[in-house]
Chains A and B, each alone.
Chain A
Amino acid sequence: MNSSKTRAKTAPVAANGRRTIKVDYLARVEGEGSLQVKIRNNEVVDCKLGIFEPPRFFEAFLRGRSYTEPPDITARICGICPVAYQMSSVHAIESAFGATVPEPIRELRRLLYCGEWIESHALHIYMLHAPDFLGYEDAIRMAADHAEAVQRGLKLKKTGNDLVALLGGREIHPISVRVGGFYRVPTKKELQPIAEKLKWARDAALETVRWTASLPFPDFEQDYEFVALHHPDEYALNEGKLISNKGLDIRVQDYDRYFIEEHVAHSNALHSRIAGRGAYFVGPLARFNLNFDQLSPLAREAAREVDFLPQCRNPFKSIIARAVETLYACDEALRIIENYEMPEQPFVEVHPRSGMGYGCTEAPRGILVHRYRFDEHGQILDAKIVPPTAQNQRVMEADLCAVVTEHLGLDEEKLTWLCEQTIRNYDPCISCATHFLRLEVERLD
């Protein structure tokens, strides 16, 4: 396979009193974007996360399509979290048509989602983010000194992929999900081999919690508004209401009344904010802080063991939250498999009608909102998709400003490193948000 991407760095340049650090391509993120920090007289005057990948027009592609198509079309938005797109779309469509699915289908959806969480989180923890903490340029160099950890990460990721492939037909862009359920569901016997792998993965995830908690963390905290889906009886994946640590408590169908998307000049992804308040934080740390009580006893105990407790306001510790969630996902997957009874029908019939439906599920990176409006035949009149990275853009920019402000004394190389690490706290999927992160720190002294 080929790629035109190359990694290029230029050294700091001194010209006319201005100093510039430029990283043409920031690796270890999904997609392409740029980052610009302007410093004047030792003060940060501007921080912009620019997403210059052209808009992808998925919402427009969906207009005029049948209600049966969004799970497959929107899954193509992302190779890392296609299940999230499938889940948010089927929930939105079923909500519009007043359909509900039986418990076994609901559980299978959770099981599929667990697979995606495991593979996505393991990839980010071990291959993308951990090198930042341990001082390696990438996971390959890290593996020379931390071979056991990297092998554990790769095997964990594979377990997640295997689970998605088993339920979804293949690990990337699975093909078994449909409105009302699945095209095919597994037999109880078919799930047994993956259960054995998940038992290993659960132990490996527990080790991952301990390993991530041992990393060196910058002393950095902010007063965030964390937003996540909340369900009283389970760690929310597919269903629940939207809550925050600052009083938000709304139904998913009221999303548009409380959240605003707006265009900013430097980004092809829309920025989101909470009406009247501003930036908010979605993803593993938000979920951990808001839904700790719904984690499995094993996941809660592991978090306590490493003294990682809500309310954590240090975004660098998102890597521990990802590890706890990986443990939870293994535990939850095993619970579902143990209790699984094959449904009589793999799906329920859904009858289209005119109306609007919202779906919000927890993608590995945070809440993913879908909204569809249909005519009486179930043809899509308009669609809206709000991915987690777009929602985190404002808070990423705010973090960057604060981190640079607190570390102005660092030399350019260390400051650039810290900026990249700060952005990777959010595991940004720029491909989803509209792809390439270019970092530029400009000192206008």
Chain B
Amino acid sequence: MTTCPKCRAETATPLCCSACGALVAPERAPTPFEVFGLEPGLTVDGAALKRRLIELSRRMHPDFFATGGDELRELAERNTAELNRAYEVLANELERADWLVRALGGPDERTERALPQAFLMEVLEWNESLEEARRSPASPTARRALESLAAALAKERERQVAHLRAALVPTPERGSPRLAEARKELNALRYVERTLGEIRALQLEASTAQS
């Protein structure tokens, strides 16, 4: 809880007062969870988060402070940038998990590069069929291969997200070994996400070439 410097009310977000609506300059950069007035944790209600984003934007957006002088306008600009950044982190489960692991003192992706053991064998197989599809993404064989690869990856993604949730819900203690487990799952998930992204791009190219 932060105290509003203007009306002294307790306010749920450190960026603007929930009572009088005044913009507040935070003393230190707030965490994404603090910005939205939430307890840190992997589980977030997406629809509620979006409603809150719009509610807070309606209070702090620089569009509404354009005539209020440079200082106020810049504060609105900074606070809204902070709000939007916090939303980017909280709206995406993997970003949220990544933030939690760091915040709880867990390893980052540079210190813990390992992947879950079972995953490695599959990666080799996937890479091979992806390599083939890259050569001629519009051919019928490649299209089918991409489709089944996408399906396999989506299933793998579900499995990994379940592991990630098991590692981070309930929220672990600082320094818990579950954080390293979560990091490994995140490393694998990053690979899966990137590959799925590339498959989507290849499929887009193919559908354009087709029509």
Pair from one complex: no
Interface, chain B (partner A; CB < 8 A): none
Interface, chain A (partner B; CB < 8 A): none
